[in-house]
Amino acid sequence: MTDMMQRIVLARRPQGFPVEKDFRMEDIPMPTPEAGEVLVRVTYISLDPYMRGRMDYVKSYTAPQELDQTMGAGGVGEVLASRDPAFSEGDLVFGMFGWASHGCLPGKALRKLDPDLPPSTALGVLGMPGFTAWSGLAAYGDMKPGETLVVAAATGPVGSMVGQLAKQAGLHVVGVAGGPEKCAMATDTFGFDACIDHRAHSGALDMMETLHKECPKGVDVYFENVGGHVLGGVLPVMNLHGRIIICGMIAWYSGESDETGDMPLQKLWRVALVKRLTIQGLLQTDHVSRFGEFLAEVGPKVKAGEIAYLEDVAEGLENAPGAFFSMLKGGNKGKQVVKIA
Amino acid sequence: MTDMMQRIVLARRPQGFPVEKDFRMEDIPMPTPEAGEVLVRVTYISLDPYMRGRMDYVKSYTAPQELDQTMGAGGVGEVLASRDPAFSEGDLVFGMFGWASHGCLPGKALRKLDPDLPPSTALGVLGMPGFTAWSGLAAYGDMKPGETLVVAAATGPVGSMVGQLAKQAGLHVVGVAGGPEKCAMATDTFGFDACIDHRAHSGALDMMETLHKECPKGVDVYFENVGGHVLGGVLPVMNLHGRIIICGMIAWYSGESDETGDMPLQKLWRVALVKRLTIQGLLQTDHVSRFGEFLAEVGPKVKAGEIAYLEDVAEGLENAPGAFFSMLKGGNKGKQVVKIA
């Protein structure tokens, strides 16, 4: 055990799209666990779109990221030293260690991992993103066989889980992704019925026409990850009593506006009334009491290869900011994680 | 029985706010009931905001009003002649007779009325508007004692029922209405805890400040009848897991825009996600299988005076257009009906 550990802090709040100078890597003294605490060597860090929102100083569902403090993030790692009797050296655990090489947390803030699964799965397919997909559909999807579901960011960890769960529930599943390679991945790796390349569509009207073609019976469930012209294209194709589950809006995270973002609220209100839509904001923490149910249902499917997942692994803590920027631009293929040496 | 009856047809589609010339009164031959049909002398016609929407040539939840045909509307009246054994001369019935002095409909399209209640109640408190309020709250309100509900058009037939049902369910109930007289009516006649005069508020910010004062614990349920700056004021005051039930948007029925109507969709999406709102379009016809349940619950309360109602009665078929215009501007006090001579 060295005397120092590494971490990355938020040096300043990004103006629009974040850049390297918004972050700073530091060496700090290795913490020593106090009574009830556990010291962990982090092996994988999770990078997720919600982190961009936390970098702004706005009241959201979580407090903003503090300046000059370790960037918040989930991670997995190996217990180095434990002063909580529930954990022993060598245990694999999940915890909110942040963008850091090590973390020291109370044992009750940690979750022990199933040693029969790769630890990084606890950050994606069997972690927060997978649970987001599962809990949103379970609570609000009201999926019926023969219906149609659309989800964007189709090869991301949330979108790919949404699509696979919907397929297994008997729905016609259409993804939206950026570029032909990701679209092929959505159909070949994740079993989507079709996947639309949003980069080949310049606006909402364009997108609507293709959606109309790929969803001949209309759209019953739209799982919203992106906003932008994908949303603009989906709205007119929604069926009576359709459900829109708002999980994210990555197209708008850095304050950009566009034709759909600027669509007057009045128009949405009319569509929602005429089609009697249900529009529902989703945050997985609201459903956390069902996390065990999720693991019991999806864990065995992952082990059996019945749920596929992809990970995009960046190497080295120092490369976390770059991997984060790339993910915000859709450069990742699958769940973005950072492997720590 | 005369040989002729009177009706009002839509002569042309209104451009923006409707005017007298959009309508035409006609004498047509009195119909003769065929087998299974019932001829009815109409005594009261219902005027409702949804009729404005049907005057435009747009696909909505009902087909548009046809030109040169009787303006559609619910009405009540007395059976003059019946060729359906389920109805006899003198029976009081409800049916979709339109803006007309008489109607001839299949018996199965009619509903016999409780002779112990004034027939006009079947158009308001115990008709479509009352059922709209009841079914929306029953299906989507998820009301809990101690929560706060806001409803605009508070003295109208939907709003006044929403407020009274919410009060009886133990909620803090705040209305919004136009002018001090209506506001007094909301609190004195319908028992609202408070009522805000939207005419005394110039914009959404203004409205938000007053709503914040009258709803110190925030807003859990917003029953949407109006859109406009009332909606703009409510959105920032919505609580976590709040419900918005979209029933109408009278402020926008004639295509007007305003600061809130033009609010970018992107803003709503963020509020819906951060607060995990449920936004639900409501149309009472979706719930029509529960109409009996509604009558069984609310009918006795109306008889016992436990649910108050107000009617604004215009006299004479020829005055239907004028009463309709006045209602669209909020000139009515209570459910607008037209009494036929």
pTM of this structure: 0.89
pLDDT at A202: 87
pLDDT of residue B33: 97
C-beta of residue A33 within 8 angstroms of C-beta of residue A83? yes
B261, A264 in Cβ contact below 8 A? Answer: yes
A253, pLDDT greater than 60:
yes
Cα B240 → chain centroid: 29
* Dihedral pair phi/psi, residue B202, rounded to 5°: -90, -20
Mutate to test the interface with A, among B59, B245, B246 (most CBs of A within 10 A): B246
Q: How many CB pairs under 8 A join A and B?
A: 117
| pLDDT digit string, tens, across residues A285-327 | 999 999 999 999 999 999 999 999 999 999 999 999 999 999 9
User: In chain A, pLDDT over 70 holds for what percent of residues?
Assistant: 96
**Distance of residue A59 Cα from the nearest chain B Cα, in angstroms:** 9
Torsion angle (degrees, nearest 10) of CA A28, A34, A38, A44 = -10
- pLDDT per residue over A150-169, tens digit each? 999 999 999 999 999 999 99
Report chain B residues whose CB lies below 8 A from the CB of A50: none
From the list A276, A281, A286, the residue facing B272 with the nearest CB is A281
The burial of B329, by beta-carbon neighbours within 10 Å (0-12 exposed, 13-18 middle, 19 or more buried), is given as: exposed
**Superfamily name with CATH number, domain A4-124+310-339:** Medium-chain alcohol dehydrogenases, catalytic domain (3.90.180.10)
ipTM, 2 decimals?
A: 0.87
The tens digit of pLDDT for each residue in A109-148 reads: 999 999 999 999 999 999 999 999 999 999 999 999 999 9
- Give 10-residue mean pLDDT values along chain B (341 residues): 88 94 97 97 95 84 88 98 97 98 98 95 96 98 98 94 98 96 97 96 93 97 92 95 93 69 83 95 96 97 97 97 93 92 75
Task: From B139, B206, B130, B183, select the one nearest B161 (Cα to Cα).
Answer: B130
- Residue B60 touches partner A, C-beta closer than 8 Å: yes
CB B244 within 8 A of CB B277: yes
pLDDT digits (tens, 9 = 90+) for B268-319: 999 999 999 999 999 999 999 999 999 999 999 999 999 999 999 999 999 9
Helix (H) or strand (E) holding A108: none
Q: Is B248 on the interface with A (CB under 8 A)?
A: yes
- Which whole number is the average pLDDT over A330-337? 89
For chain A, the C-alpha Rg in angstroms (whole number) is 20
Residue B17 phi/psi, 5° resolution? Answer: -70, 130
Alpha-carbon distance of B134 to B319, in angstroms, equals: 30
Q: What pLDDT does B220 receive?
A: 98
Nearest CA-CA distance, residue B173 and chain A, Å: 23
- Do the chains contact at B266 and A286, CB–CB below 8 Å? no
Q: Which of B224, B272, B274 sits opposite A279 (nearest CB)?
A: B272
Residue type, B190: F
Question: Out of A241, A264, A278, whose CB is closest to B261?
Answer: A264
Of B262, B264, B279, the CB nearest to A279: B279
CB–CB of A16/A254 below 8 Å? yes
pLDDT for res A256: 64
Question: Does the distance separating the beta carbons of B280 and A270 come in below 8 Å?
Answer: no
* Inter-CA distances, B169 with B138, B149, B307, Å: 11, 11, 13
Residue A240 corresponds to which tokens in the numbers above? Answer: 């009576």
Candidate from B247, B264, B279 with C-beta closest to A262: B264
A41: left (phi over 0), alpha (psi -120 to 50) or beta: beta
How many Cα atoms are found within 13 Å in the side-chain-facing hemisphere of A289? 2
Which residues on chain A are in Cβ contact (under 8 Å) with B264? 257, 261-265
Cα–Cα distance, B260 to B208 (Å, whole number): 12
CB crowding B148-175: b at 16 or more within 10 Å, else e: bbbbbbbbbbbbbbbbbbbbeeebbbbb
* Nearest CA-CA partner of B173 in B147, B134, B204: B147
Q: How far is B241 from chain A (nearest CA, A)?
A: 8
Give the separation between CA B31 and CA B4, rounded to whole angstroms: 9
Question: How many CB atoms are closer than 10 A to CB B109?
Answer: 16
Domain ranges of chain A: 4-124+310-339, 128-284
Could you tell me if A275 lies within 8 Å of chain B, comparing CB atoms?
yes
Strand pairing of B219-224 and B311-315? unpaired
Q: How confident is the model at residue A271 (pLDDT cuts 50, 70, 90)?
A: very high
Distance between CA atoms of A274 and B300, rounded to whole angstroms?
A: 32
**Cα distance between residue A73 and residue A314, in whole Å:** 15
Q: Mutual orientation of helices B265-274 and A265-274 as an angle, nearest 10°?
A: 70
**Are A279 and B282 inside 8 Å of each other by CB?**
no
Best of A59, A265, A274 to disrupt the B interface by mutation (most B CBs within 10 Å)? A265
Q: Report residue B214 as tokens.
A: 């009258």
Contact A63/B at CB under 8 A = no
The CA distance from A272 to A277, in Å, is 5
Quick check: A171 and A242 in contact, CB under 8 A? no
How far from B134 is each of A54, B125, B185, B192, CA to CA, in Å?
41, 10, 21, 17
Tell me which chain A residues have a C-beta less than 8 angstroms from the C-beta of B268.
265, 268
- Give A173's pLDDT tier (boundaries 50, 70, 90): very high
Please tell me the CATH superfamily of domain B4-123+310-339, with its number: Medium-chain alcohol dehydrogenases, catalytic domain (3.90.180.10)
Residue B138 DSSP symbol: I
Determine the residue among A266, A279, A285 to mutate to test chain B binding: the one whose Cβ has the most chain B Cβ atoms within 10 Å: A266
pLDDT of residue B35: 97
Task: Tell which residue, A281, A287, A338, A8, has the closest CA to residue A128.
Answer: A287
Residue in B62, B256, B274 to test binding to A, most A beta-carbons within 10 Å: B274
B230 touches chain A (CB under 8 A): no
* Beta-sheet strands, E only, within chain A: 4-10, 23-29, 37-46, 75-82, 92-95, 102-106, 111-112, 148-152, 172-177, 194-197, 219-224, 238-246, 278-281, 311-315, 335-339
Instruction: Measure Cα distances from A38 to A6, A8, A28, A80, A202 in Å.
Output: 17, 21, 18, 8, 51
pLDDT at B2: 59
Chain A positions in Cβ-Cβ contact with residue B283 (cut-off 8 Å): 273, 276
Contact A262 B265 (CB under 8 A): yes
Question: From the CA of A61, how many Å to the nearest CA of chain B?
Answer: 6
Q: Which residues of A touch B270 (CB under 8 A)?
A: 249, 252
Measured CA to CA in angstroms, residue A169 lies from A137, A144, A293, B195 at distances of 10, 7, 17, 47
Which of A248, A263, A280 lies closest to B265 in CB terms?
A: A263
Q: What is the pLDDT of residues A33-54, one digit of tens each?
A: 999 999 999 999 999 988 998 9
Q: Is A77 within 8 Å of A93 (Cβ atoms)?
A: yes
The two structure tokens encoding residue B310: 């107000």
* CB neighbourhood size of A259 (10 A): 13
Fold of A128-284: Rossmann fold (3.40.50)
Q: In angstroms, what separates the C-alpha of A272 from chain B's closest C-alpha?
A: 5
pLDDT of residue B301: 97
Within 8 A of A231 by CB-CB distance, chain B residues are 265, 269
Determine the pLDDT at residue A53. Answer: 86
Are B227 and A264 within 8 A, CB to CB? no
A333 — pLDDT class (breaks 50, 70, 90):
confident
- Answer whether B40's CB lies under 8 Å from B103's CB: yes
CA distance A186 to A334: 10
Q: At a CB cut-off of 8 Å and minimum separation 6, what does B106 contact?
A: B36, B37, B38, B84
